[in-house]
Amino acid sequence: MRKLLPYLLLIPTFFVIISFIYIPAFNSFKMSFFRENKFGTKTIYVGLDNFKKVLFDPEYLQIAGFTLLYVGLTVLITIFLAFLLALLLNKNVPGTYIYRALIFIPYAVSPAIAGSLWTFLLDPVAGHVNYFFTNIFGTQIAWLTTRPYAFYALLFATVWKMIPFSLIFYIAGLQSISNDLLESATLDGANAFTKTWKIKFPLVSPITFYLVIMNIINAMFKSFAIIDVMTKGGPGGYTSTMMYKVYLDAFSYQKTGPASAQSVVMFMIMAIVTVVYFVYGERHVHYG
């Protein structure tokens, strides 16, 4: 009985994973080869037609390009700012623990709430950001309804939401760096810039390696709520991502076949990115 106990305790976890991950994933893959009528009463096998329509659709290719830009900039800015903030919060100054707690608050906020908050801040009439722009520059910007400002607005909100997750890992990594090593570098004539980017940043490369792939996943999938609340993919589909396109086709337009094909395409993209990243990216990671 004692040998079976660990497996019995894992049954609830396996039940949840199979019910809410593997079965939906299998059904999505299966539906990508079929097409339903608008009423969902008839299913027709179409083979690879859904994938052909997706991959040769100019609108979808434009959305894929925007997704690549959005995810790339979000991850790059998040990693850079999180590391710089971690350097500041790792210093022994009064109130450091309070600052850490305050900066971590955005991570506890749901993406939908984060989108609502930034929608209010960027409101062209009552928003605090436009109030600042009006007083300083004498202009108001329609952040959420014009190009390219809608993209900037999503970038601000997403980075703001993602930074705390990366920040807490970087703080832990910086605290593990030996002070003797930094003191030796100082005695050898290394300045602050050299110690930061030639010593500290390489030493936390395992954390950076982990955070890059996690932030890619978050920007790719978990930013859906921010986009839905702030821009709904507008103006004119300009800020639609691949994830938001799946949602629109599946639930707004009832195109379950193409939506399933898009989800399979996203899965393949993430699988390829993950494999390539782990094969080539780990070469630049310094352990120990």
> Can you tell me the distance from the alpha carbon of 154 to that of 241, in angstroms, rounded to the nearest whole number?
11
Tokens of 64: 């894929």
- Asked if residue 55 lies in contact with residue 265, where contact means CB atoms within 8 angstroms, the answer is yes
Tens-binned pLDDT, residue by residue, of the chain (288 aa):
678 888 888 899 999 999 988 999 999 999 999 887 766 667 888 889 999 999 999 999 999 999 999 999 999 999 999 999 999 988 877 878 888 888 888 888 899 999 999 999 998 888 888 888 888 887 888 899 999 999 999 999 999 999 999 999 999 999 988 888 888 888 888 888 888 888 899 899 999 999 999 999 999 988 889 999 999 998 988 999 999 999 999 888 888 899 999 999 999 999 999 999 988 877 777 766
- Asked if residue 269 lies in contact with residue 275, where contact means CB atoms within 8 angstroms, the answer is no
- Asked if residue 254 lies in contact with residue 38, where contact means CB atoms within 8 angstroms, the answer is yes
Side chain identity at residue 1, one-letter code: M
- Asked if residue 75 lies in contact with residue 218, where contact means CB atoms within 8 angstroms, the answer is no
Q: Which domains does the chain have, with CATH numbers?
A: 40-284 (1.10.3720.10)
> Can you tell me the distance from the alpha carbon of 117 to that of 109, in angstroms, rounded to the nearest whole number?
10
> Can you tell me the distance from the alpha carbon of 91 to that of 28, in angstroms, rounded to the nearest whole number?
49
> Can you tell me the distance from the alpha carbon of 5 to that of 266, in angstroms, rounded to the nearest whole number?
38
> Can you tell me the distance from the alpha carbon of 225 to that of 239, in angstroms, rounded to the nearest whole number?
13
> Can you tell me the distance from the alpha carbon of 232 to that of 226, in angstroms, rounded to the nearest whole number?
9
- What is this structure's pTM? 0.90
Tokens of 232: 């709904």
Dihedral sign computed on CA atoms, order 254, 257, 262, 266: positive
pLDDT digits (tens, 9 = 90+) for 197-232: 888 998 999 999 999 999 999 999 888 899 999 999
Q: What are phi and psi of 281, to 5 degrees?
A: -70, -35
